[in-house]
Structure 1
Amino acid sequence: MNPTAIRRPAVPVLLAALLAALLLAAGCAPRVSPPGTVIADLRDMPQDAGAYIDPLTATRPLLPPDQHKALADDYRQRFFAPWARTAPAHGPKEVFGFLDGFDPARYHGENRLPLPAGLASEMRELADPESFPNTLRPAISVVASDLRVLPTVRPLFHNFALAGEGYPFDYNQNSAVWAQTPLLVLHTSADGAWALVETSAAAGWMPTRDLAFVDAGFMDAFNTVHLAALTADRVPVADCFGQFRFMGRVGMVLPLTGRDSRNLDVLLAARDTKGQAVLLTASLGDDVAAPWPLAPTPANFARLANELLGQPYGWGGMYANRDCSALVMDLFAPMGIWQPRNSAAQARHWGLVPFGDMDREARLHAIAAQARPWLTLLWRPGHIVVYLGQWQGRPAVLHSAWGLRTLAGKASGRHILGATVITSLEPGEDLPELERPAGNLLLQLGGLAQVGR
């Protein structure tokens, strides 16, 4: 713009700007923390799970042997359950319910523009719900994949302008599925590119290239007496020929066929040119894997937690990351303790003890009196955390969190955490813009659940 064309503001405009500055200085408008502010919990609380365990009891199992064995037996049965089914565990109303009410006009794509109106009919034609179930074959995932609500990689975002919507909340994402997970293929899309599958904990559409069909001989060989658990995250796993197969993740278990003083021999599934599963072998160092189940000790929990701390938040497992309930699943899997896929189901699974209308002090007292480090889950609608114990007189928790509710004037927002972190139950209380009480996790808790109860 030509500088000579810039007008000076009129006097009333200058007076209004001066008045606004005076009001801000007087505290009549909400203060907002500078961009990039790190909340006090993340500055002051160690982001090391080992700091929250007692060295004197670090190697003492938190569950009696008979109870732990029962839980591990239950985990094994659930993990391999898709291979034992002869009918879907999810009915057509569950797997096609979203499709029945799908209105593309309510969603935006990755370009932030509304989705095309024809997407609904395209998805219905691909999904072919009238022929459900048209497959019913056992299979196994050969790489990490995603379970989608509709048979497409296209994301479904709500309004990007709304706090808690838009990125990363893709409503087409149901869950991630790690490599080497038993599946039951219920249905195949009309073009053959997508398979509607069930795992032990979730269902959704995944690309058919990410799975391989299994037969009775394969299932017998893969369902071995002994299993191995991954104890390190994002570990490249190569077969006996040195070919990379997948990234090993905490939460994965593999058939264990032998071991020596430094290595564990395991079986892997790969996909052949006909889409069938073939068995391969691999060797994993004892620094990244261990015989399953691990003893449920504070030291083992802390070791696994430290593998996950600081990793990015992943809504529904997007980008091979974890959300709050996926974190809980994967933390407990190496111990042989099965967890459902979403936070509400996890709380119900162990018997939620509600807080009801308890005030702040009563909630803190109940947690101090009843919660057990590493074995207590604290739940509020839409979120779940793992209790670590008391830290300087306050409960410390491990969780994967996207953000904290904020309020600046009348505009709702989020202070982004976006990672697996250790905090108190009142993270962000030092933020002037924290929305109170809605942004206070402690006051929003619905109750606690004891794992193994």
Structure 2
Amino acid sequence: MAFLSAATLASVPARAADVALPAVSPAGVPAFSDAMLSPEFWIRRAASPDAVLMNARQTAAQRRLVYAKGGGLTDLASIPAMLTQSQVAGWIREAEQTPIKPVVDEAGRPLPASLLPALRQNTAVAQIPAKTAARYGLSVRRTFLRALPSALALYAAADARDYESLQAGVLFPGEAVLIAHASADRQWLLVLSAQGPGWVQAGDIGIGSADAVFAYIGQAPGRVITGDQVRTVFTPEAPAVSRLELDMGVSLPAADVAPAQTVNGASSYASWAVRLPVRRADGTLDFSSALIRRSADTAPGYLPLTRANIIRQAFKFLGERYGWGHQFDARDCSGLTSEVYRSMGVFLPPNSGQQGSSAALRHRGFTAADSHAERVKALAQAQVGDLVVVPGHVLMIIGHVDGQPYVIQDVPYAVFKDPASGQLRKTKLNQVAVTPLLPLYADDNTLYVDAMTSLVHVAQPL
């Protein structure tokens, strides 16, 4: 094929493609055909697709490691219950370290000079006491972490609406937080979650004892969400748990409900009963049963970690619009990889750089000393589910065609040299998409393969 280097062809035995591939498809993606949009296309090509790559004991060990030093997630139980002023102030500064400079508002107007100082004033950093007792809570719905205590939508430019400056991540229902501080207007809480610090709307957190919070997240899975997004059953009798959004990989404990017992006005016999945190009127934590339809895409525990499951889970997001920090009821590049693996019991850090360096994962690092040929050879030997990390982005290997690695990724553009003109061509994707890897550029000058900093072998135990 036009895009394959001699190193690739020499290192991997040729294998006939299932379909003839055009140099550039009608969709504007090189070396691509519509057949590649089916997970079965890639499962057929995978070696031993149903073989279990890591068993339950090994995935449990990985989950422990990702919360240990260098793993990328924070073990909230290890944080001292008495917080210092400098510690809390440091979390406020860390939360604000957004990679997207806020320049314009939602209408595209330049921000007034007074806006950001006013938002920082709302952090009430001057009111942090010398010592603060940590409080704990559980998120009661899918809610955003913010860089500052504000719901304002700010952007780097009027035409860059897919990247909101204050978006810092997401909390899923039932996620534990350490509550460190409150904003001056009392509408926001500074929390430390497993993924780091951020501001969350106070009404989205139920505040309880450490024992209650850690006991809840320590329970065995009753149902694991294995679809791209599932909702609890609608119930006007219990609005707090009605049609809650549940993303892939969310694990909920089972509710103690008898088969004939009614839950929130409906029989439980055709549904799964789960236990969810709710927030009382005074802000304190309580729990409620809720129903998930049996027909919904869930499992009684984590899925087996197999190549077939990696591919099937990833393809459930195919075509979903890119969602920076899980905006638009969606996810971004590292959210995609995290949720796919979480549904199989493997936990990843929240951003691409951490996924490429986590001590809980096996990976090969690359530096400027690694040649193009060495990098191509490593990719030719990559396995289904391996992650390719470049600065600011992560992609997942789904297989090879004629020796060339293909990936699924949540990406704004496919940038490549048009084989007819030799000129750089940019196809806007802005969604979860399947592409070849070797032809694509990370920027106008550097191929992804040459920008690669890490090849992560997630499905290989340490």
Deviations 1:350-386 (A, max 9, x none): 34421535454432212223x2211x21111011111
Matches within 5 A, 1:71-82: 71-74=62-65, 81-82=75-76
Q: Which TM-score applies when normalising by structure 1? A: 0.78
Deviations 1:216-240 (A, max 9, x none): 5633652454113100122121388
Asked if 2 retains the 8 angstrom alpha-carbon contact of 1:127 and 1:190, the reply is yes
Match of 2:17 in 1: none
Deviations 1:96-122 (A, max 9, x none): 257699999x61111111111111331
Q: What's the RMSD between the two structures over aligned residues?
A: 3.6
Match of 1:25 in 2: none
1:63 aligns with 2:54: yes
Q: Which TM-score applies when normalising by structure 2? A: 0.76
CA distance in 2, matches of 1:69, 1:211: 27
Q: Report the alpha carbon displacement of residue 450 of structure 1 after superposing the two structures with TM.
A: 1.8
Match of 1:203 in 2: 197
Match among 399, 413, 417 for residue 403 of structure 1:
413
Q: Report the alpha carbon displacement of residue 427 of structure 1 after superposing the two structures with TM.
A: 5.5
CA distance in 2, matches of 1:308, 1:365: 29
CA distance in 2, matches of 1:390, 1:45: 14
Go from structure 1 to structure 2 and tell me whether the alpha carbon gap of 1:242 and 1:392 turns closer, same or farther (over 3 Å shift).
Answer: farther
CA distance in 1, matches of 2:97, 2:317: 37
Deviations 1:125-173 (A, max 9, x none): 2101123376721111111111111111123322347xxxx32222211
CA distance in 2, matches of 1:124, 1:151: 8
Q: Which runs of 4+ in 1 moved over 6 A?
A: 75-80, 100-104, 258-262
Deviations 1:313-370 (A, max 9, x none): 011222232111111111111222111111111100034421535454432212223x
Q: Report the alpha carbon displacement of residue 446 of structure 1 after superposing the two structures with TM.
A: 2.1
Unaligned runs of 5+ in 1: 1-35
1:53 aligns with 2:43: yes
CA distance in 2, matches of 1:169, 1:103: 7
Matches within 5 A, 1:198-277: 198-216=192-210, 218-219=212-213, 222-227=216-221, 228-238=223-233, 243=239, 244-257=242-255, 264-277=272-285
Match of 1:191 in 2: 185
CA distance in 2, matches of 1:331, 1:71: 15
Q: Which moved more, 1:251-260 or 1:267-276?
A: 251-260
Q: Which moved more, 1:261-270 or 1:288-297?
A: 261-270
- Give the length in aligned residue pairs: 405
Larger fraction in helix: 1
CA distance in 2, matches of 1:353, 1:361: 15
CA distance in 2, matches of 1:53, 1:393: 16
Unaligned runs of 5+ in 2: 1-25, 260-268, 419-423
1:390 aligns with 2:388: no
Deviations 1:410-447 (A, max 9, x none): xx996321111121104668xxxx96533x32232223
1:179 aligns with 2:173: yes
CA distance in 1, matches of 2:100, 2:407: 39
1:448 aligns with 2:455: yes
> What code does the residue aligned with 1:402 have?
P
Asked if 2 retains the 8 angstrom alpha-carbon contact of 1:311 and 1:321, the reply is yes
Q: Looking at CA atoms only, which structure, 1 or 2, has the larger radius of gyration? A: 1
Match of 1:147 in 2: 145
1:169 aligned counterpart, secondary structure: coil
1:127 aligns with 2:123: yes
Matches within 5 A, 1:291-302: 291-302=300-311
